Amino acid sequence: MRLNTLKPAPGSKKDRHRVGRGVGSGWGKTAGRGHKGQKARSGGYHKVGFEGGQMPLHRRLPKRGFVSPSRDLVAEVRLSELETMTATEIDLAALKAEGIVPRQALAAKVILSGKLARKLTLKGVKATKGARAAIEAAGGTLEEIPGKVAQTPGPKA
């Protein structure tokens, strides 16, 4: 095999479909747009969800639920993600530096997902029962800070 003889796989390169280029092509005159009407005009189509002036479905249905402001404050960390880290002592700052948890996270919690084969020391990071067992089975230790996981911001005075 030589670089100058490489060719794309047969059928992988299709010609661009050019419309409105003569009646003999089969896509001339109206170029696949039909005759007249809103859809035949340039820029002529409605917004997604628009129902011709009728109250759209997404506005007819009642609102439901809310987005919790404290949703992203505790980040989940998989065991498989800990396995890929180079550090042996892991805390919230190390997880943020590696890009495993978002910068705005106030706490992290390790969940049992994937395998852990090396010895790790976790400081100030919470863990589920299964994750704790897996870390200790691999010879690692967990040093948790007692108290609440994350403090949610209170109402403004």
pTM beyond 0.75: no
Token duo for residue 93: 């700052």
What one-character DSSP code corresponds to residue 9?
A: P
141-143: strand order across its sheet: 89-90, 121-123, 141-143
The torsion defined by the Cα of 90, 144, 69 and 72, in degrees rounded to 10, comes to 20
Q: Which residues of the chain carry a pLDDT beneath 70?
A: 147-157
Dihedral over alpha carbons 31, 34, 37, 39 (to 10 degrees): -60
Strand (E) or helix (H) holding 111: strand 107-111
Contact 114, 74 (CB under 8 A): no
Please, what CATH class does the domain formed by 74-143 belong to? Answer: alpha beta
